[in-house]
Amino acid sequence: MCSIFGIFGLQAGDDKAGLRRLALDLSQRQRHRGPDWSGVFVDDGAILVHERLAIVDPAGGSQPLRSGDGQLALAVNGEIYNHRELKKELKQAYEFQTGSDCEVINALFREDTPASFLNRLNGIFAFALWDAASQRFLIARDPIGVCPLYWGHDREGRLCVASEMKALADTCADVAQFPPGHYYDSATSALVKYYDKPWRDYDAVEGVQVGPQELREAFERAVHRQLMTDVPYGVLLSGGLDSSLVAAVAARFARKRVEDDDTSEAWWPRLHSFAIGLKGSPDLAAAEIAAKSLGTVHHGFEYTFDEGLDALPEVIRHIETYDVTTIRASTPMYLLARRIKAMGVKMVLSGEGSDEIFGGYLYFHKAPNAREFHEELVRKLDALYSYDCLRANKSMMAWGVEPRVPFLDVEFLDVAMKMDAQAKMAGKGRIEKAVLREAFEGYLPEGILWRQKEQFSDGVGYGWIDGLKAHAEALVSDRELAAADKRFPVNPPLTKEAYFYRSVFERFYPSPACAETVPGGKSIACSSPAAIAWDASFAAAADPSGRAIAGVHNAAL
């Protein structure tokens, strides 16, 4: 995973040398994402810059990736897990220039329509592709939005695109998130949604059964695919259900090399796991138990409240949001990424996405029926790119560590989301995500497999959230909070903690367009319209902590 930067729509009279220097300067703001190498491509109509984090083909594979005839230039942030299968399916000859998994995008562009070939990709990606022969460019983002992507226009009306907002914030007054599952083709000047699955509609899944074996095998294949790497890797292990399942499955495949169909020993056969928390945190204790049962080389790190507080401004600058839950959880993840980087690890597997697929949030206990449960799952998946995907990607990539998320593998999604939500529903003695737990009986200790849901920001230690609230209470006056809508007309903060984060965000990203890239600014699960309809008391919830709504879970059992 890397970073991309592009400028399109250059005209004959433009100062290309000056624009090249500008593009390099702006791309440098993202270099933490790709510290291994920088590449630049300049043509009459486009400039592309790539900052590389070498995961696959580290000796080659530098970008922008050029076609053999020099006509195509591709800058990609991401991984294409099924690149070998796609290469075998090509109908036209294509002379590959590198061993990069991403170069297959050039070959597919040559022989297929964007909507068709994008739906064939199994991976996480955000890319910009330039075709010099036709003076055409294509911009696209993966279905769920695991990889970040922003776009906007400079003062001359040229279209700019970048992996992170910080590269565009001072240049594009209309900077915005590029939507997941979409592409923009300059040939038609249209933004097109290419990813639209039948399972989004409850009528398409009603009555569909998915057995434990089918679910388990689909997830095993997803994890196996995502072990594609030529560099040291590990797993994030909080000791909760999701990260523990990822670690358990990865441990089963770690000794063989995925790249040659498991026929040779892996270059790094011992699986390393990583956890972080305050001293005595629930996650550190649970992760230790899970790691011992799985036989991973485990690294549990402690941080202090002051260390987390000191890091907050840099965390907000990197993750580019003022969302309360995201910032709470991103800070320990950011500190953990720095430790992981220091150990020479460049890629980790993580457990994001499971709660959105299986209804793991505590308020799902209040869902009145399977249809509304399923519709809320789809809504949560649609919002992931602004919350958990953003957190995992940007907080880890701040230190050049690539996070991969097997639960959001598109093939696994097709299996897990076609299941009638009736089987996923919690309550009446049934714990959340029971269907997932049942599919993996025997994989984990019972205390881990059936551990109750706890948000990451709670799991690292209750003192973290309590300390943040106390700090904000001391900094922000009642008068300031009462006038929050005057200072922050876009998504005014509702609590002192939210006001504090918003103030820090404004220091780095003062423009209204930057503020508008954050939807709402408070990812309280219970603030969703569906949740409020399920239980009116959720409308008054001002704290997204799992503890704050723990009564929902306890009352449902």
* Boundaries of every domain in the chain: 3-196, 206-556
Confidence of residue 248 (pLDDT cuts 50, 70, 90): very high
Tell whether the model's pLDDT for residue 554 goes beyond 60: no
Superfamily per CATH, domain 3-196? Aminohydrolase, N-terminal nucleophile (Ntn) domain (3.60.20.10)
Per-residue model confidence as pLDDT tens digits over 471-481 = 999 999 999 99
3-196 and 206-556 share one fold:
no
Per-residue model confidence as pLDDT tens digits over 177-217 = 999 999 999 999 999 999 999 999 999 999 999 999 999 99
pTM: 0.94
Tell whether the model's pLDDT for residue 546 goes beyond 70: no
Distance CA 312, CA 505 (A): 10
pLDDT for the residue 543: 59
Q: CA torsion 44→127→334→36, rounded to 10°? A: -60
Distance CA 486, CA 62 (A): 48
CB of 51 closer than 8 Å to CB of 63 = no
Q: What angle do CA 321, 326, 327 make, to 5 degrees?
A: 75
CB of 102 closer than 8 Å to CB of 55 = no
pLDDT for the residue 14: 94
Please compute, for residue 350, the number of CA atoms within 13 A of its CA located in the half-sphere on the CB side.
24
CB of 391 closer than 8 Å to CB of 330 = yes
Q: DSSP labels for 486-543?
A: HH--SS--SSHHHHHHHHHHHHH--SHHHHHTSSSS---GGGSHHHHHH-GGGGG---
- Identify the residue with better confidence: 174 or 57: 174
- Identify the residue with better confidence: 374 or 557: 374
Average pLDDT (301-316) is 97
Domain 206-556 part of CATH 3.90.1150.10:
no
Distance CA 339, CA 334 (A): 9
pLDDT for the residue 459: 67
Tell whether the model's pLDDT for residue 268 goes beyond 90: no
Closest CA to 81 of 411, 513, 531, 477: 411
Average pLDDT (499-528) is 84
pLDDT for the residue 61: 74
pLDDT for the residue 457: 53
The mean predicted confidence, pLDDT, of the chain is 93
Neighbours of 540 (CB within 10 A): 9
pLDDT for the residue 537: 73
Q: Which residues are annotated as a binding site for L-glutamine?
A: 101
Average pLDDT (376-392) is 97
Tell whether the model's pLDDT for residue 113 goes beyond 50: yes
* Residue of 2, 102, 147, 526 marked catalytic: 2
pLDDT for the residue 62: 85
Q: Which residues are annotated as a binding site for ATP?
A: 236, 276, 350-351
pLDDT for the residue 548: 52
Lowest-confidence segment of 110-114, 176-180, 393-397, 551-555 by average pLDDT:
551-555
pLDDT for the residue 524: 44
pLDDT for the residue 452: 77
Residue 467, helix vs strand vs coil: helix
Distance CA 458, CA 468 (A): 12
| Cβ neighbourhood burial of 554 (10 Å; 0-12, 13-18, 19+) | exposed
2 flagged as catalytic: yes
Beta strands 402-404; 347-349: pairing state: parallel
pLDDT for the residue 505: 98
pLDDT for the residue 462: 80
Q: Which residues are annotated as a binding site?
A: 101, 236, 276, 350-351
